[in-house]
Amino acid sequence: MRVCKLPPLGIGTFQLKDAANLYAVIDTALGCGIRLIDTAQCYRNEEIIGSFIGDLLKKHSLERSDIKIISKLAPKNHGTAKAREAVENTFRTFGGFVDVFLIHWPGVSKIKSDNPVVRDLRKESWQVLESFYRAGTVGAIGVSNYTHKHLVDLFEYCCVKPSVVQNEFHPRYIEQDVLNFCHNNDIQLMGYSPFGQGDLLRDKDILSIAEKHQTVPSQVLIKWCVQQSVICIPRTSKTERIKDNFVGISDFELDCSDMEVIEGLNDNHKYCWNPKFVI
């Protein structure tokens, strides 16, 4: 299996659809040294990113091989025929190649989450991704929003092991079983919503640790992910916040007491969609 090692930090693009703003966000992120861009069919911004990414690479004196682009199969596109067509459309948008392609959601749009056909369609979609992986048009494949149960199920039929699992991950929602599964199987875990939709940026313990290290709360939360070997992809529409998030992130380390305090915030609180009811 080919190894697609991803950088520890990336930029999310969920809800970013304005072309000028999206350009500015990715431009700023590249200027801060970020080399991982996360998008998805559901975000409806793949074509926008594809239209200017070449120009931004030239601006920052980068080659296409210097960055990683991640996309995700929409829940409405599960199943052999739909998945193949949808993935090919994304490939065309990005010049015939995507670094990482994920299944976005274990469920299927407009089908009840407990319907057994969901598992069958999910399996078909994975087999489509495997075929593109073998053809070399995608560098790595993986899944998003999969619980431990879904990952165990995937390992019952997959021929190509997932390289990436992208899930909600922050101090208030730590899926230790998923984290352990990924580490034990050499899978890269990627965390989205690291700030808990902004709530954690105002948490008194996070603020105290940020003051201790003379940094900002967002960097404490990002660092907490990275020090657990979890790739972190914060999202913002404001370019100044991108600089706050990333500039100087290597200048400090969280100590054991910091990590313990942060982990103590875990109360199994999920901010985003919950896949636990999907068969």
**Residues carrying an active site annotation:** 43
Q: At what angle do helices 256-263 and 204-212 cross, to 10 degrees?
A: 170
How far apart CA 102 and CA 203 sit, in angstroms, is: 32
What ranges make up the beta strands (E) of the chain?
11-12, 36-38, 68-73, 98-103, 138-144, 164-168, 188-192, 230-232
How far apart CA 18 and CA 23 sit, in angstroms, is: 9
How far apart CA 248 and CA 268 sit, in angstroms, is: 30
What letter represents residue 25's amino acid?
Answer: V
CA angle 167, 210, 251 (to 5 degrees): 85
Q: Which two tokens stand for residue 9?
A: 């930090």
The radius of gyration computed from the CA coordinates of the chain, to the nearest angstrom, equals 18
Contacts of 114 (CB under 8 A, 6+ apart): 277, 278, 279
Cα separation values, 166 from 51, 79, 189, 192, 234, Å: 25, 21, 6, 7, 12
